[in-house]
Amino acid sequence: MARGWESKSVQEQIAAARVRESDAKPRLTPEQLAVAKKCDSLLLHRTRVLRDLQNCTDDRYRKTLADGLAYLEAELTTLGWTAS
């Protein structure tokens, strides 16, 4: 009797997994994954530059950071990112 309950549980788990797979996000191509990783990396760099820019007191370094921020945002824009 225990085996009957066990197999039903397994069948329910398999059915639930199939439902989750059908609701899952579409799989990305390797190119799309590369773009997503690059975008994530650039966003992390942007976050750090913004933080450094807020804490910066030297005008020359502030200019360098602002130029870097403009570059990062230009790269992100080419990847399809929009500032929110």
pLDDT tens-digit series, residues 29-48: 999 999 999 999 999 999 99
What CA–CA distance (Å, rounded) separates 9 from 22?
20
In a domain, 14, yes or no: yes
Number of domains comprising the chain: 1
Euclidean distance between CA atoms 49 and 8, whole angstroms: 55
Per-residue pLDDT at 69 exceeds 90:
yes
Instruction: Give the residue among 29, 37, 43 at the shortest CA–CA distance from 81.
Output: 43
pLDDT at residue 12, rounded to an integer = 83
User: Is residue 84 in some structural domain?
Assistant: no
Is residue 32 domain-resident? Answer: yes
Cα(11)–Cα(6) distance, rounded to whole angstroms? Answer: 9
36 lies in some domain: yes
Structural domain for 36, as ranges = 2-78
pTM (two decimals): 0.65
Decide if 21 is inside a domain. yes
Residue 22 has pLDDT above 70, yes or no: no
The answer to the question of residue 69 being in a domain is: yes
Residue with the bigger pLDDT between 5 and 31: it is: 31
